[in-house]
Structures are given as structure tokens and as C-alpha cells.
Amino acid sequence: MVARPLLVGGALLLVLGLLGEFLIFPGMLASDGGEFVAQISSSGDIETFNDYDVGDSVTIVDTIARIQLDEGQTRVWLASIGAADTDIAFRFNGDLLADFGPDDKIVIIFEVAQLGSGETPAGYETSAEALPADAIAPRYSSTTELAFAGLVALGLGFVAFGGFNSWRGGGAPEDDWDAPVAPAAVPMAAPPAMTPAAPAMAAAAVTAAAPVAQPVTIQCPACQAGLQINDPTRPLNITCPACQAGMVVR
């Protein structure tokens, strides 16, 4: 059965997906708005990014603290930066009030662009001076987050399928390769001891003995003397001891 590899592999994928979704992505692959603002260096009207170069991708995970429409553009203040008018807000082309609101968890992704001798989010260097509308998305909808969510779903599928296989197998014991172990063979009973054959003489003794002939007495036909015959079953040629007459007894 393949229940054990499915359960182990599914659990690993599940843990990896959850760690990626809630720890790796927001903590290592992305930053919040406050961290992004903190790494900006300003010199007059020129801003440079200390942690990013032109062409780098920036991912910000945060919560909307304030949102408003201003002359066809949507301004979004992030909770990690602040919601005051003096706090930095991200500008997006178009009206996004129907898609986002305060306390929404969002992901902002943009590239770093060159602006004179400084750096700026891509879109700010154009006449619109704003990010495109698709640069902001609800949390758990970005490509990276969907990949980690896919790992979670795949892990759950493996765990469910492995659990079903384990239940269907009825708990049969498995070896190190997860193959069902054959039941132990029942030891064969020893053959019964052979009774030694009785000796030929004993066998003969068991056989019914032939009847023993009994002696009989006959009379001599000549002198009528009595003669004893020990074995009347055999033909005999005898002589009468009284009259010396010969006779054959059959």
C-alpha cells in the first residue's frame, strides 16, 4: 500500500504551503508599507531606494487604513504607514472604491523605474504619476500566494487519499516498503511415528492357526484289532501289528 508515503508527503506539502502563505511570503518575499518607506532616501526632490535597484520588483503586503478617490485616481493609505494627510499614500489610476475598502488586506506589486537621477515606482515617472490599477490586488490572489495555496490543496489531497487508502487497507501490517506482510505460515505438524512392522513370525502367529488333526482309531479289516491313526488326513500304508495284514488308510 502507498498510504504512508502519501500521508508523509501530503503533510510536508501542507506544512510548506502554510509556512509559505503566512510566513515566507509576507515576511521574507514581501515587506509592508512602513518598511518600504523607511528605506527611501531623499535629497531635495530626488528619491532613491536603498534596498532596490531599477528593474527590481517590489511586493508590499499590508492593510488599507484609508482610501479615497481624488481627480480620477484612487489614493490608498496603508496601516503600517499611517492614514494622515501628511503620510505617504499610493496612487492608482482609476476608481477602485468598488473593489477595495478600509481594513482590506491587499498586495501591491510594482517595478522600480528610473526618474531623472532618482528612483520611483513604475508609473510615477509618467504623466499620470500613479501606479496602474492592476498593481493592487486582494490578499491571497497574487501568483506567489496562489502557488503556496496550491501546495496546501495538494497536501490536503494527498493526506485525504492516503488516509482513505489506510482505512481501506484495514490496518494490515506493512513492511519497510509499505507492502502488505504475508501472514506467518502455520508450522506443519510432524508426521505420525511409523509403527515398526511386526516380525514375520509374529505376523504368522497372529494369523489363525490351521486346525490340528485329532488321532482316530480304526479296526483292522482282517483281525478286527484296533489301530490308532495320528493323522487321518494323510494317506498311510500301514501293517496291522496283530495279524501282519497290510492296508492303506486314505
* Structural domains in the chain, sorted by start: 31-138 (2.40.50), 216-249 (no CATH)
* DSSP 8-state code for residue 164: H
Do the strands 46-49 and 73-78 form a parallel or antiparallel pair, or are they unpaired? unpaired
Residue 222's pLDDT is 76
Cα–Cα distance between 168 and 191 in angstroms, integer?
Answer: 41
User: Of how many residues is the chain composed?
Assistant: 250
C-alpha triplet 234, 240, 242: angle, nearest 5°:
155
* DSSP 8-state code for residue 107: E
pLDDT tens per residue across span 171-215: 555 555 555 555 666 666 666 666 655 555 555 544 545 566 677
Cα–Cα distance between 229 and 193 in angstroms, integer?
Answer: 52
Residue 212's pLDDT is 62
- Residue ranges in the chain whose pLDDT is less than 50: 205-206, 208
Burial 62-97 (b: 16+ CB within 10 A, else e): bebbbbeeeeebbbbbbbbbbeeeeeebbbbbeebe
Residue 249's pLDDT is 65
pTM for this predicted structure: 0.61
CB 231 within 8 A of CB 214: no
Residue 184's pLDDT is 60
Residue 158's pLDDT is 83
